[in-house]
Structure 1
Amino acid sequence: MTQLRERVNAGLKDAMRNKQADRLSTLRLINAAIKDRDIATRGEGSTEGATDADVLQILGKMVKQRQESARAYEEGGRLELAEKERAEIVILEEFLPRQLSDEEVEKAIDAAISETGAQGIRDMGKVMGALKSRYTGQMDFGAVGPAVKNRLG
């Protein structure tokens, strides 16, 4: 069992003991998403299940979904639902590694470009692959993509 999965399960047990209903429901959603990934990887022939990298990817996706939902709720005047989404984001981020600062992201991009020997926009995939393998869950790749493109273009 992966370390992240163990942390989620421990958090789930604590939430049950402390009768924290909101936290419990969010942690159950995380567990369900992890189990879905386990099933998907079994279909691909892997017996291992979801790795820590998979769990980080799942958590990042869940945070992004909640950010979008919170924005939509705010625009629709549903502030109580936006607050609920933000509370879930706080719980999800407990399991994610520390986010890199803008300066750290710039350094990581520079390092990945020099490491992969990227010359132009054609090498963007190599650079993004290097960043994703090393910094999954630590940076927003939706924002990093255009920055890499600018550097290479």
Structure 2
Amino acid sequence: VYRAADGWCAIAAPTQHLWEQLCTAIGRRDLGADPALADNAGRVAQRARVETALRGWVADRRVADVVAVLGGTVPVGPVQNAPEWRTDPHFAARRMLVEVTHPHHRPTVQLGCPIKLTATPSSVHLRPPRLDEHGDELRAELETRRGEG
């Protein structure tokens, strides 16, 4: 996740092909051709170098510009806060906005499951828990696990 001039965006390039596409898009073919960065393990080992290059490229651009340059080539998207995703037409079209009820609060909208399967559609089965609603069970389980190991 990288800070842009007007917000944040997420960029992913876990494969060599996507890494090379990303490097080309940001004008850093040298990184894409570097044998030390030829696989994910190499990029993780040199994370500081990779992060510096990406942060530098993203920093002066608007999120929409980063998405426009990388979108369709490299997985990228804006990081949205609740007011943004609640009004995003894409979230509505993908049925990502789910209203849930709670016995002690007004109904609220939360994000649904991003995985959409035709034969087995997802749904929200439980309401959000009340503060410490499952605390006793969780503490008991933690205590049991402490005794085991």
- Structure (1 or 2) with the greater helix fraction: 1
TM-score exceeds 0.5: no
TM-score, normalised to structure 1, is 0.22
Work out which of the two has the higher radius of gyration on C-alpha atoms and give 1 or 2.
2
TM-score, normalised to structure 2, is 0.22
- Structure (1 or 2) with the greater strand fraction: 2
